[in-house]
Amino acid sequence: MLTVEQIIACGLDKAEASKISETLNRISPTQSATACWSEISRDILTPQHPFVLHQLLYETVYADFDRPTHGPPPAWFPTDEDITEANITRMMAELHIKTYPEFHAWSVANRDTFWQMMIDRLNIKAIATTPEPQKGATGISTKLAKLNIVESCFDVPDDTVALVAQRENDTHLKTLTYRELECLTNRVANGLADIGMKQGDAIAIDMPMNAESVAIYLGIVKAGCVVVGIADSFAPDEIATRLRIGKAKAVFTQDYINRAGKRLPLYEKVIAANAPKAIVFSAACKPNLAIEKPSEGSESLARTRREGDMTWNDFLSDTETFNAIPCHPDASTNILFSSGTTGEPKAIPWTHTTPIKSAADAYLHHDIHSGDVLAWYTNLGWMMGPWLIYASLINGATIALYDGVPTGRDFGVFVQNAKVSMLGVVPTLVRAWKNTECMRGLDWHAIRAFSSTGECSNPEEMLYLMSLAGYKPVIEYCGGTEIGGGYITGTRVQPAAPSTFTTPALGVDFRLFDEDREPTENGEVFIVPPSLGLSTSLLNADHNEVYFAGTPQPNLRRHGDAIERLPNNYYRIHGRVDDTMNLSGIKVSSAEIEEVLNNVTGIQETAAVARFPKDGGPSQLVIYVVLIQSESIPIKQRLHAALQTEISEHLNPLFRIHDVAIVDALPRTASNKITRRLLRAPL
């Protein structure tokens, strides 16, 4: 199969290489490729071995694998115990369904029954019910008449750990129990009432994910108000846009953010955005100690700079009880933003039923059980922030939050020490780990599954990710803010091949169409509604026009992803078919980027496109530039730097330009639209 010399070349000594070679020669002649890899990944390879050895063995075992018949080669297989203990299996047994494909088919053929079953299974607390199911705005009938979704986030024993947190350069894990988190949530809700906030008022959060921002989020919703989510990386212009669209009456923020030893101002950006009343938390507050008000003169007190702004210390109520405000199931809880093909981001309301979709996806597809520990490096301006809160707390699990830079080993040590059992990633993060080998040798045995979303992933990098935990599955997870979760994903009861999906999400289905609006195996995806979680309105656009106008068939919902159906029921996503791209896990439109860059001196117009690497992986931002004829042509490197500065200062510093091309003109259609398909070809 492999020679000893080939194995030694991977960085092993001769004795270990000889032992592995002997074992491989014993296994390979008698087993199929899948059985051979299953044994190798389980009994031979460890996270301590160099990844180059993992990759060599995987490629060697599957060298002759019949991909046209069997699809991509799996790197993980569920054990009998995995299948027996899975939440999916238990539901199938309850329904007397034998196979997973039958279960998915049942879930879309009986959508009302399926979603009511999930409401019951997740123990969603209703403040009032209807005797007969009533159809909501999503088109799904439930018995929910009045509820506040936060009531369903605290249905476990008080002393259960709700949240574990750590800051960079701090080796200690801080914890909050469900009781402590609920008390802090109630104090926030009471504080909002004290400053005059009423049911339906919009209140923004522009903070990193920490214990306080989680409690703030839950407190706003519990008070019957609406969260306006803003990513803490946004520039003042983008903050101002979201505050305006969301009609925020106040904003929670932080004085600064600690990242890699640097203090990055945040409250200052909120002031520059001309924000309404700000409640300012201090980064100097220690996790857990924030539950008690800091004393006057404490270093952990923030300082306000505008009349009317408040410190966290002055805002936080002493009252630890609060009766949740009853709300209609379709009442808004959160305004999130997802870029479309216009310059202004789409403002998408989440309702009190949207979190049921998030929690159901976690329960079913990520197989989250009470006691699991979920980590996903995210923030409340991206849907995965609220998703993480609801997916964890409604399922009785623990949220794991790291306040720092996740690209280094310190984050991996946090994952190890917090005993994270489900680790969510964006592919860009995995690439950084792989390139630096910073996670090698860590003990991630507690991980039961990874999940990847936000960008297209690369098979080699996802194989690397699996190897870090001794081969655990990566649940590829794709959906959107307007879905409340995923429409295509994986499970822990099906084999996992790197960078592929295995199923439409339970309770959801989709169809693929080509450019001529004909059914295809490789084309644009259209979702088949109804489902809990699907948006029903937009604050600043015509919802029907955006999602339903001009679809190939009635009752189809446009989404914009390009999907290929592979053999053996696997799927692969090939990015976006419209002018929207995912950069560093954040959706942004070409129009938003171009609106910023077209203001640069000497530029006539620009076109921003996402180019997809040949071998897969996160999309790369490429800017095509048409210069004003009278201007002298700048050096490309200088132009690149100028454009990057403009994006960092006025849009988001996380968006990195991969390449710049100077062209005489942009290709256009007869209707004068930029032909981006031609621009996506390699430079």
pLDDT of residue 299: 43
The string of pLDDT tens digits covering residues 208-261 is: 999 999 999 999 999 999 999 999 999 999 999 999 999 999 999 999 998 888
Give Cβ neighbours of residue 638 (< 8 Å, ≥ 6 apart). none
Weakest mean pLDDT among 304-308, 371-375, 406-410: 304-308
Of the candidates 118, 111, 117, 151, the residue with the CA atom closest to the CA atom of residue 135 = 111
pLDDT of residue 289: 45
Q: What are phi and psi of 581, to 5 degrees?
A: -135, 160
Residues 621 and 608: their CA atoms lie apart, in Å, by: 7
pLDDT of residue 638: 87
Among 84-98, 160-174, 446-460, 608-622, the range with the most confident prediction by mean pLDDT is: 84-98
Residues 373 and 464: their CA atoms lie apart, in Å, by: 22
The string of pLDDT tens digits covering residues 64-121 is: 999 999 999 999 999 999 999 999 999 999 999 999 999 999 999 999 999 999 999 9
- Looking at the chain, the whole-number percentage of residues with pLDDT higher than 70 is 94
Residues 18 and 322: their CA atoms lie apart, in Å, by: 66
The angle at the Cα of 571, spanning 566 to 575, to the nearest 5 degrees, equals 120
| Torsion, Cα of 143, 145, 149, 153 (10° steps) | -50
pLDDT of residue 298: 45
pLDDT of residue 560: 87
pLDDT of residue 297: 46
pTM beyond 0.75, yes or no: yes
CB 461 within 8 A of CB 431: yes
The string of pLDDT tens digits covering residues 588-605 is: 877 778 878 887 888 888
Weakest mean pLDDT among 441-450, 534-543, 641-650: 641-650
Residues 27 and 20: their CA atoms lie apart, in Å, by: 11
Weakest mean pLDDT among 148-162, 268-282, 432-446, 639-653: 639-653
* Residue 612 pLDDT > 80: no
Amino acid code (one letter) for 322? F
Question: What is the dihedral sign for C-alpha 542, 546, 547, 553?
Answer: positive
Q: Which helix (H) or strand (E) holds 561?
A: strand 557-566
Q: Model confidence at 585, in pLDDT bands (50, 70, 90)?
A: confident
pLDDT of residue 632: 59
pLDDT of residue 286: 61
Written as one string, the DSSP assignment of 281-304 is E-TTSPTTGGGSPPPTT-TT----
Where is pLDDT greater, at 142 or 582? Answer: 142
pLDDT of residue 81: 96
pLDDT of residue 452: 96
* Residue 137 pLDDT > 70: yes
The string of pLDDT tens digits covering residues 331-370 is: 999 999 986 555 688 999 999 999 999 999 999 999 999 9
- Terminal CA-to-CA distance of the chain, rounded, Å? 40
**Other CB atoms within 10 Å distance of the CB of residue 135:** 11
Q: Model confidence at 530, in pLDDT bands (50, 70, 90)?
A: very high
* Residue 680 pLDDT > 90: no
pLDDT of residue 301: 56
Q: Which two tokens stand for residue 390?
A: 């609801």
* Residue 160 pLDDT > 80: yes
The string of pLDDT tens digits covering residues 379-410 is: 999 999 999 999 999 999 999 999 999 999 99
Residues 423 and 382: their CA atoms lie apart, in Å, by: 17
> What are the strands, taking DSSP E only, across 432-521?
449-452, 474-476, 478-480, 485-489, 503-504, 509-513
Burial of 297 (0-12, 13-18, 19+ CB in 10 A): exposed
Q: Which helix (H) or strand (E) holds 269?
A: helix 267-272
